Chain A
């Protein structure tokens, strides 16, 4: 498969390793991703059959905001010529000590197929746990904002653990475990904000519209990145 992101000698060792397996299924594909695909299809089908269309659309919204972040992460890698803000290199290179790969398929320099399924499912799950009354308050705060804060905090904790375990590499000083508030604000808060906003639209049509706007942003980012050889 063609790799649009141009290889540079100035890339860090971790980035070079991630680049080697970028969209390279010959080197990375593993069987376990097929059951995960089926589990994903089951979850979406079940939610749709139970009438939770807006929860699925919210999952799509969260998934799309993540892809947007993954796109600009690739841009930063290409433009700096050194490293993405976060990377997903093979486990053995990142120091995990695994002989094999950490991912079955690396879609972008810091984005793999496991992350992709994870975020879609996380978007659905995070909406299903919301109170039915969107105006209800918890500890004096609107419950959507309350849950966005809680889910963001939990997600950042998991992200920090993944970095600690060396399966998610961070090479920029502003994006480290020592300053997790940046991850909190631009890494995760937009994800849950977009999901809950989409979930709460008065009609399914309006939810589709919200997802459409995010999809347009992502498509524009991918097309531009493709033309520039930045992804």
Chain B
């Protein structure tokens, strides 16, 4: 088996990893914002119905 490598020893590779992580987390952020905002709207609707 090969030796275990440390990403900090390869700074260009580290920065690619950072960039990729930003893109991946942006995808999660966009999706979760959508999921959560729908949840909030649903709760608001329920509250409105209760008030009526």
Chain A residues near B (Cβ < 8 Å): 12-15, 65, 68-69, 72, 75-76, 79-83, 85, 95, 134-135, 137, 142, 144-145, 148, 171-174, 176, 185-186, 189-190, 193-194, 196-197, 200, 217
The answer on a CB contact under 8 Å between A190 and B5 is: no
Contact, CB under 8 Å: A68 / B23: yes
User: Which residues of A are found within 8 Å of B36, using beta-carbon distances?
Assistant: 142, 145
Report Cα–Cα, A24/B13, bound state, in Å: 26
Listed by A's residue number, 15 A-B pairs whose Cβ atoms lie within 8 Å are A14-B2, A68-B20, A79-B12, A80-B12, A83-B2, A135-B39, A137-B39, A171-B2, A172-B4, A173-B4, A173-B7, A190-B28, A200-B34, A200-B35, A200-B38
Chain B residue contacts of A68, Cβ below 8 A: 20, 23-24
The answer on a CB contact under 8 Å between A95 and B1 is: yes
- Name the B residues within 8 Å of A81 (CB-CB): 10
A172 touching B39 by the CB < 8 A rule?
no
| The one of A65, A145, A185 that contacts B35, using a Cβ cutoff of 8 Å | A145
Chain B 14-33 per-residue mask, 1 if CB under 8 angstroms from chain A, else 0: 00110111011101101110
B residues sitting closer than 8 Å to A (CB atoms) are 1-7, 10, 12-13, 16-17, 19-21, 23-25, 27-28, 30-32, 34-36, 38-39, 41-42
Q: How far is the CA of A79 from the CA of B30 in the complex (A)?
A: 29
Taking chain A's interface residues, is the majority helix, strand, or loop, or is none over half, making it mixed? helix
Q: Which residues of B contact A176 (CB under 8 A)?
A: 4
**What distance in Å separates the Cβ of A89 from its nearest Cβ neighbour in chain B?**
10
How far is it, in angstroms, between the C-alpha of A61 and the C-alpha of B17 when the chains are bound? 21
Whether the Cβ atoms of A197 and B25 lie closer than 8 Å is no
* Interface residue from B2, B12, B38 paired with A134 (Cβ < 8 Å): B38
Within the assembled complex, what's the spacing in Å between the Cα atoms of A76 and B12?
8
Kindly state the separation between the CA atoms of A69 and B4 in the bound complex, as whole angstroms: 21
Q: Which of B7, B12, B25 contacts A186 (CB 8 A)?
A: B25
Which of chain A's residues have a CB closer than 8 A to the CB of B17? Answer: 72, 76, 85
In the complex, the answer to whether A194 meets B31 with C-beta atoms within 8 Å is: yes
Our pick among A79, A145, A148 for the contact of B16 (Cβ within 8 Å) is A79
Residues of chain B with a CB closer than 8 A to A217's CB: 23
A190 touching B27, Cβ below 8 Å: yes
